[in-house]
């Protein structure tokens, strides 16, 4: 169901973030993110000259390589388009994320390591969707593989999703159905 009809309006800015997850031949996982910002009008940029409608104001890429524990083993970031010529120079700082695991507190830790003047706002913002894509890529495939081998995920472990949103509230019907041992009454 789409949003309701909007008031009359004119499009001005589009931000697109696309994330993709891959299983590598060596057993590791690659998660890639791509961000673009475009305008519907031309504007002058002191360093780039005229930026035309639809031309990227920002175009950035990130690839993290993860092990099965969601620990970053490699990272690559690239800025193809930015408003300033110094934007790509910050890329080496993102190597600080190697060894970091995607778990509770991940985004805060990313901000500690490469936030503010130590990084790029857009690349840091992209790490949230990249992390979510990692979960969506790795856990469903691993669980499916376990079931195909006649095993099941450890049902005695507290589900990572428990209390992560409304649907997974410990008192919800969803938790009652899938994890009755963790269900609580309201």
My answer on whether 139 and 50 are in the same domain is: yes
> Looking at the domain assignment, is residue 2 inside a domain?
no
The pLDDT confidence band at residue 62, using thresholds 50, 70 and 90, is very high
For 52-74, what is the mean pLDDT?
97
CA 19, CA 33: separation in Å to the nearest integer? 4
pLDDT value of position 147: 79
How many domains does the chain contain in total?
2
> Looking at the domain assignment, is residue 116 inside a domain?
yes
My answer on whether 26 and 72 are in the same domain is: yes
Q: Which residue has the higher pLDDT, 100 or 151?
A: 100
Taking all residues of the chain, what is their mean pLDDT, rounded to a whole number?
Answer: 93
pLDDT value of position 154: 65
> Looking at the domain assignment, is residue 87 inside a domain?
yes
My answer on whether 117 and 43 are in the same domain is: yes
pLDDT value of position 155: 63
pLDDT value of position 140: 83
My answer on whether 161 and 141 are in the same domain is: no
My answer on whether 93 and 55 are in the same domain is: yes
My answer on whether 117 and 170 are in the same domain is: no
Strand ranges of the sheet holding 13-23, from the earlier edge strand across to the other edge = 13-23, 29-39, 56-66, 72-81
My answer on whether 109 and 160 are in the same domain is: no
> Looking at the domain assignment, is residue 105 inside a domain?
yes
Q: Which residue has the higher pLDDT, 160 or 17?
A: 17
User: Is the pLDDT assigned to residue 156 strictly greater than 70?
Assistant: no
My answer on whether 179 and 145 are in the same domain is: no
Q: Which domain holds residue 179?
A: 155-186
My answer on whether 129 and 179 are in the same domain is: no
My answer on whether 130 and 183 are in the same domain is: no
pLDDT value of position 162: 85
> Looking at the domain assignment, is residue 93 inside a domain?
yes
For 146-163, what is the mean pLDDT?
77
My answer on whether 38 and 103 are in the same domain is: yes
Query: pLDDT tens digit string along 10-26?
Result: 999 999 999 999 999 99
CA 137, CA 159: separation in Å to the nearest integer? 17
> Looking at the domain assignment, is residue 76 inside a domain?
yes
> Looking at the domain assignment, is residue 1 inside a domain?
no
CA 3, CA 1: separation in Å to the nearest integer? 7
CA 10, CA 6: separation in Å to the nearest integer? 11
Which residues, in sequence order, are CB contacts of 66 under 8 Å at separation 6+?
28, 29, 30, 31, 72, 73, 102, 134, 138
Query: pLDDT tens digit string along 77-117?
Result: 999 999 999 999 999 999 999 999 999 999 999 999 999 99
My answer on whether 176 and 147 are in the same domain is: no
Residues of the chain above pLDDT 70, percent: 97
> Looking at the domain assignment, is residue 7 inside a domain?
no
User: Is the pLDDT assigned to residue 161 strictly greater than 90?
Assistant: no
Worst-scoring range by mean pLDDT, 55-59, 97-101, 150-154?
150-154
Q: What is the pTM of this model?
A: 0.88
């Amino acid at each position: 169901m789409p949003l309701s009809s909007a008031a009359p309006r004119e499009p001005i800015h589009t931000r697109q973030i696309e994330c993709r997850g891959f299983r590598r031949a060596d057993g590791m996982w690659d998660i890639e993110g791509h961000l673009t910002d475009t305008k519907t009008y031309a504007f002058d940029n002191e360093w780039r000259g005229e930026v035309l409608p639809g031309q990227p104001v920002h175009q950035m890429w990130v690839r993290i390589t993860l092990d099965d524990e969601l620990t970053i083993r490699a990272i690559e970031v690239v800025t193809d388009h930015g408003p300033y010529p110094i934007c790509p120079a910050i890329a080496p700082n993102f190597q600080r994320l190697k060894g970091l695991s995607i778990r509770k507190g991940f985004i805060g830790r990313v901000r500690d390591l490469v936030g503010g003047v130590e990084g790029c706002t857009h690349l840091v913002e992209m790490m949230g969707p990249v992390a979510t894509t990692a979960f969506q890529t790795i856990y469903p495939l691993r669980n499916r593989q376990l079931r195909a081998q006649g095993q099941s995920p450890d049902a005695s472990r507290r589900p990572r999703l428990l209390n992560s949103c409304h649907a997974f509230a410990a008192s919800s019907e969803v938790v009652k159905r899938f994890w009755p041992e963790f269900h609580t009454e309201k």
